Amino acid sequence: MNLKQLSKGNVLVFGDIILDRYISGTVDRVSPEAPVPILKPSKEDLRLGGAANVAVNLSSLGSKATLIGVTGKDDFSDWIKVLLKKNKIRNALSKSVNPTISKLRFLAGQQQLIRIDSEEEFTEADWKSSLSNYRKHIRLEKNKVLVISDYGKGTLKNLPLIIKEAKKLNKIILIDPKGDNFSKYKSANIITPNFDEFVRVVGNIKGEADVSRKGKELIHSLKLSALLITRGSEGMTLLEKKTGKIVRMDFPTEAKDVFDVSG
């Protein structure tokens, strides 16, 4: 897989859809009822999170993204549709009796005061509906790449089945994983865990040689083509199969303070 396939082609994104809400304001006093700050709100922002944020990022690269997932039958779902249209992202969303997954953050300046998560596990009917949408779109010849965004919220109830059907159609499969059970991602082309997720799966890392050794072992055990480990301020480490061997490449990055988080 090369960047052109992501930046110029049609990409199918399947995963957990989240609405991120941010209420910003100022704090100039503490509550007399409890030792907590009193926020005077001045602005509310709505942004796409989870798999929807992945679709936005792909769209910004020039991809023609189509989003598959589940939302509720509520105002949050309507707002998601508006934001998807604004970002020119096609979608096939299943509607659940459960509410749309949302994360509400209260901010004072650059300080996050509290986060409130609203979510309920989606039903078997929701899974079957989203699987039907997936099957319809994965069969389209134009969709060469499948990006799976797993936030562990229950949208992706049978990942081995999803991967198997995409592999049969010779699709390129890229997965943003979650949790400590990576066996469900077996046979994907590439997975992109962060460093903490990587360590939870492979065990203690004592140095860079361990990163390479255990990364290669993970590639072999999961039958991957590549493993991309995101490492925060240390950049990224890519381990990729090339001409019969696994090659490591490191990509440094400039560290920045991040206050605007999604998903």
Q: Is residue 34 part of a domain?
A: no
- The alpha carbon torsion through 63, 81, 47, 100 (nearest 10 deg) reads -120
Q: How far is Cα 17 from Cα 68, in angstroms, rounded to an integer?
A: 9
Residue ranges of the chain with per-residue pLDDT less than 70 = 1-8, 254-263
Residue identified by tokens 């059970």 is: 181
Is the residue at 256 inside a domain? Answer: no
Q: How many other CB atoms sit within 10 Å of the CB of residue 208?
A: 11
Give DSSP secondary structure letters for 205-230. --SHHHHHHHHHHHHHHHT-SEEEEE
CA 189 to chain centre: 16
Domain-located, residue 79: yes
Q: Is 32 a domain residue?
A: no
| 29 belongs to a structural domain | no
Q: How many Å apart are CA 151 and CA 80, to the nearest integer?
A: 17
Task: Say if residue 200 is exposed, middle or buried (CB neighbours under 10 Å; 0-12, 13-18, 19+).
Answer: middle
Report pLDDT for 154. Answer: 86
147, part of any domain:
yes
Q: Where are the beta strands (DSSP E) in 140-230?
A: 143-149, 172-176, 190-191, 226-230
Closest CA to 191 of 152, 162, 148: 148
* Burial class of residue 5 (count of CB atoms within 10 Å of its CB; 0-12, 13-18, 19+): middle
Overall number of domains in the chain: 1
Backbone angles phi, psi at 174, to 5 degrees: -115, 130
Q: Can you give the pLDDT at residue 110? A: 87
DSSP 93: E
Whole-number Å distance between alpha carbons of 66 and 52: 10
Task: Assign residue 132 the CATH number of its domain.
Answer: 3.40.1190.20
Separation CA 193–CA 31 (nearest Å): 41
Residue-wise pLDDT tens digits, 55-85: 999 999 889 999 999 999 999 999 999 999 9
**Would you say 190 and 228 are in contact if contact means Cβ atoms under 8 Å apart?**
yes
What domain range is 159 assigned to?
Answer: 3-18+49-100+120-251
Q: Is residue 214 in some structural domain? A: yes
Beta-ladder partners of 248: 239
Residue 33 is assigned to a structural domain of this protein: no
Residue 61: closest CA among 125, 2, 124, 140: 2
Q: Give pLDDT, residue 121.
A: 87
Residue 223 has a pLDDT of: 96
> Do 25 and 79 form a contact (C-beta atoms < 8 A)?
no
